[in-house]
Structure formats: C-alpha cells, structure tokens
Structure 1
Amino acid sequence: MSLPPASAAATPPASRRAGRRRRILVRITATGRHTTLLALAVLFLAPLLWTAWASVRGPRAAGGAEGVGLDNYRRLAEYGAGLPQYTANSLVVSLLTVAGTLTAATLGGYAAARFRFPGRDLLFLVTLGILMVPYPTLLVPLYVLLGRLGLENSHLGLALVLTMFQLPFALFMMRNAFDGVPRDLDEAALIDGCGPVRTLVRVLIPVVVPAMVTVGLFAFLASWNEFIAPLMLLSDDSLLTLPTALAAMRSSSHGAIDFGALQAGVIVSAVPCTALFLLLQRHYVRGFTSGALKG
C-alpha cells in the first residue's frame, strides 16, 4: 500500500480546503476584473468603431449603391484646400505648441523647483490662476495683441496662444517632477564642474523624461482638437486646422449635412491621437506618478 506524501500528510485538511477557497476566490476576482475592463473597453470603443463602419457604409460611401466604399473619404479629401493641407496645418500648430509648452514648462519648472528668488511662489500661483479664467474670454484681447505684433491669422500666433493655455498644467507637472528628483544629483553635477544649464540638460532632463512626455502628449492632444481658438484667430481658408475645416464643411452646404464625410473626418482626426497615446502610454503613466514620491 502506497503512503501519501509527507507534505500532504503534514497539512491539515482544513488548511488545504482554505487554500483551495483562496485560489478560487483569486480566480473569481481576476475573472471579474478582466470582464469589467473588457466591458469598459467595448463601451468606450463602440462609438469609434460604429463611426468607422458608418464612414465606409452606405450609398454615398459606395458610389450610389448600397455597400462598402471610400467615397466619403474622397469627398473629404477634395473639400476646400484639401484634407492633406488641413491635416498639415493641424500638425504644424500642434508641434509648435508642444515645442513651446515643453520649453517654457521645463525651464519654469526647473527654476521653481531648484532656485529661490523673490516672488517665486507668487509667480507660480499667478500662472496657475490662468486655469481659473474661462479661456474664451481671453481670445478677444489676445486677438488684438496678435494683431499689434503682426501675428494675426498665422500658425505661429495660434501656437503661442495655445501654449499659454497649456502652460499652467505643464508648469505644475514639471515642478512636481523636478521636486521628485533628489538634490544629490545636482550637488554631484556641481562638484563635477557643471553649471545650472549643464546640470539641467545632462542630469535632470533624462530623469524627468516621463513627465515631459505627459506634458507634450497633453499639449498635442489639446492643440490637435482645439476648435474655438483657430475659429477666432484664423480667417484664411488655407490656414484652417482640421477641426475648423470639418465645422466649415458641416455648415457650407445650405443645411444639407454630409454625415458620411464628417464621420470620415472624425476617423481621420482620431487616428493620430490614438496612435500617439498607444505609443507613449507607458511614459504617460510614469509621468503622472513621477512627482508622487520625493527623495
């Protein structure tokens, strides 16, 4: 007669039953969590998937016959100055906004976190105070200011306005990121002969890259999808960004709305944002937690 293993004989039946119950509970919890996440993913993706399907389905999408086709995208591409032109305009404005936001927020966050000077905290609070003001109320005086600077109806002027709107959040993020970096790194760099600028460029920026990615991603998404500021600050049709071009397309046909072309425009607008977020999501999450723990 074979004997049971020593470990099984040494383990009481009650403990084995408790262990099985714990494993079953862990599996049930994991299954419920995965099911919930899957349901949320379907809930959030369903409108975008339906829009993608509607953009290629129907008589206007298939050249007059019921079926699947790309005529909606063709009409979108041929509208006004052309889809490539509007997409390029949005890309130029977004990249200028990202560059300006990252430069100003990185330098400002470094100064606010590492240097002490009169009015530092007041200046930081005033910058954050921009968040308290509804930004559409600032567009009229900004339009007048851009006109006096000779930057009206230009992508550069629009990018400067969008950079100002992004600066409070970006400065807050970068200050927290620099505060989360131990000051020992600064002291070691100073001992090695680095000045403040070389310390920032060679030592601190590589550490706060996740926060910079988060700031840059927010600036890109906000400027790419911005509608009100380009609508007020741009008047030349060839300079319009993609959201304003889609709005003009919606209202330019004497009340007849081409929903198929608009749905195609929604897909074209969403693809760059979705791809960029999926590409940078790991840095995005790390950037939000980079200033959570200090030292």
Structure 2
Amino acid sequence: MRYYSSRSALAVLFLFPLLWSGWSSVHDQTGGYTLDNYAQMAGFGEGLPRYLGNSLAVSAMAVAATLAVATLGGYAFARFQFPGKNVLFLATLAILMVPYPTILIPLYVLLGYVGLQNSLVGLALVFVMFQLPFAIYMMRNSFESIPREIEESALVDGCGTLRALTHILLPAVRPGLVTVGLFAFLASWNDFFAPLILLSDGSSFPLPVAVVSMTQRTFGAIDYGMLQAGVMVMAVPCLVLFLVLQRHYVRGFMSGALRG
C-alpha cells in the first residue's frame, strides 16, 4: 500500500508543472477562461504551422540520420574486429564529456564552409553529431545482447551480412532503436540554444526559438499566457510519443541496451 502511495505522490509531483502550464495557457491575467493565447501564437510571425513544420523537419532528419549511423556503427563495434577498435570507441564516448555549447561557434563557421549555414539541414547534422556517441553506445550494447549463434545460423542458411542485419538483428534490437530514436527526437525537438546560435532567418526558426520570440513584449516584459501555450504545444508531441513507445523504451533499457 505504501508503495502505491509513493508512486501516486511522485506522479502528482511530476504532473503538476504540466497541469499548471495547461491551466495557465487557457486563462488570462484576470483568471478568466480564454483561448486568445493560442490564437495569438498561431498568428505570430510566419505562423505556427511554419514553426511546427521546421521543428518536425529538423527532428525527422536528426532521428533518421542518427538511427542509420548508430545502427551501422553499433553493429560494427559489436560484431567486427579491426585495428584501433577500442580506441575509436573510447574516442566516440569522450565526445559526451565535451559541453556542446563550447563548440557551436566552430560548428557555425564549419557549416559556412560547406554551404549549410543558416539551414535546417545543417542544424539537423549538428543534432546528429551530438546524439551519436550515446546512440552508438546504446546500439553496440543492444547488438551484443543478441547471441551470435542467431546471426551465424542465418549466415549458414545463405543470408549475407546485410540481409542478416536487416531481417534478423534489427527486429531483435527494436527496443534499442526506439530508445535511440526517442532520445534523438526529444533532444532535437526541445533544443533552444543550438538553433538560436546557428539560425538567423526567422522563417527557419524551430518552435522553441519561435516561442521565446513570441513572448517578448515591450521593455522586456514576458507574456506568460502565450509562453505557457507554447510549452503545451511543444510538450504534447513528446508526451504522445512517449506514451505510444514506452513499452519498447523501457525494454530498451531493461533487455541489455545499457549492458556494459
């Protein structure tokens, strides 16, 4: 009984900020019910659909590229032997110790050299770079949790390496893929600092930067009602994705995805 009471208390504690944001987003300063905050947000600047589209495009590109590279990299680290394998893997993990804001300016200059400055594709590539160390680590351990005999049986039956990977191993590591994809989506969907530095065209802003721009008023005043409406718009896709994928997400951690 005490266990369930503790869980209920924790649930209320974590849900309270979201419920408060939802309540504030549909009330004005006098406490009256209104949807004006959402209406004003929808018509701000380039329009809410444009900012949502930018966030979705960046997140989709980041998730797709992260899954592709992390799957191949994790499979290589888990199954193949090559010179410098351990050193390369440790160097990949070492990127996690670098605070990413410290390298945004060099990345901004680099994107200018390759013609991707102030573009959603360039921003997505930056997000992929930040996600790859954790994603490769996760996928390597996911592949290592699968017995080699399963793959060897497929190879003996005539499957090539690529076909064994796509038809045998990928379904087995689906929880790890879901975990990596969900982490990549949440990071790219919610990040504020990187797009603030890397993008200067207002029509390319993703939702977090646009919401901050919407809420700025004269003399630095903040429209908290519109800010809370923006928080709700950003939070809903994350909540829906987590609720839909939570079974695979939990299995990703419990079935060897964090197996050292």
TM-score clears 0.5: yes
Q: 1:216 to 1:270 in 2, by over 3 A?
A: same
Which residue is equivalent to 1:205? 170
Which letter maps to 2:205?
L
2:10 to 35, 40, 45: 40
Larger Rg: 1
Cα distance, 1:181 vs structure 2: 0.3
> Equivalences for 1:249-268 in 2 at 5 Å?
249-251=214-216, 253-268=218-233
Could you tell me which runs of 5 or more consecutive residues in structure 2 were left unpaired when the two chains were aligned: none
Cα distance, 1:276 vs structure 2: 0.5
2:136 to 171, 180, 188: 171
For residues 243-275 of structure 1, what are the alpha-carbon distances to aligned partners after superposition, in whole Å with 9 as ceiling and x for unaligned? 111122233533221111111001111000011
Does 2:21 correspond to 1:51? Answer: yes
Take 2:123 and 2:258, find their aligned partners in 1: how far apart are those partners? 36
2:185 to 217, 220, 230: 220
Contact 1:112-1:120 at 8 Å conserved across structures? yes
Contact 1:174-1:212 at 8 Å conserved across structures? yes
Cα distance, 1:289 vs structure 2: 1.8
For residues 190-245 of structure 1, what are the alpha-carbon distances to aligned partners after superposition, in whole Å with 9 as ceiling and x for unaligned? 11111111111111001000000000000000110001110011111010011111
Take 1:161 and 1:73, find their aligned partners in 2: how far apart are those partners? 31
Take 1:58 and 1:292, find their aligned partners in 2: how far apart are those partners? 46
Which residue is equivalent to 1:96? 61
- Secondary structure of residue in 2 paired with 1:205: helix
Which letter maps to 2:22?
A
Take 2:210 and 2:193, find their aligned partners in 1: how far apart are those partners? 12
For residues 107-159 of structure 1, what are the alpha-carbon distances to aligned partners after superposition, in whole Å with 9 as ceiling and x for unaligned? 00000000001111111111111001111111111111111111111111100
TM-score (norm 1): 0.85
Take 1:101 and 1:292, find their aligned partners in 2: how far apart are those partners? 16
Of the two structures, which has the highest relative contact order with CA contacts closer than 8 Å and spacing of 6 or more? 2
Contact 1:208-1:290 at 8 Å conserved across structures? no
Contact 1:153-1:235 at 8 Å conserved across structures? yes
RMSD across aligned positions (CA): 1.4
TM-score (norm 2): 0.96
**Percent identical across equivalent pairs?**
62
Contact 1:180-1:293 at 8 Å conserved across structures? no
- Secondary structure of residue in 2 paired with 1:152: coil
Which letter maps to 2:156?
I
Q: 1:106 to 1:292 in 2, by over 3 A?
A: closer
Which letter maps to 1:46?
F
For residues 166-199 of structure 1, what are the alpha-carbon distances to aligned partners after superposition, in whole Å with 9 as ceiling and x for unaligned? 0011011000000000000111111111111111
> Equivalences for 1:49-198 in 2 at 5 Å?
49-59=19-29, 67-198=32-163
Could you tell me which runs of 5 or more consecutive residues in structure 1 were left unpaired when the two chains were aligned: 1-30, 60-64
For residues 50-84 of structure 1, what are the alpha-carbon distances to aligned partners after superposition, in whole Å with 9 as ceiling and x for unaligned? 1111111125xxxxx75211001001111111111
Contact 2:41-2:226 at 8 Å conserved across structures? yes
Take 1:218 and 1:178, find their aligned partners in 2: how far apart are those partners? 18
- Secondary structure of residue in 2 paired with 1:57: coil
Q: 1:135 to 1:292 in 2, by over 3 A?
A: closer
More helix per residue: 1 or 2? 2
Take 1:169 and 1:293, find their aligned partners in 2: how far apart are those partners? 10
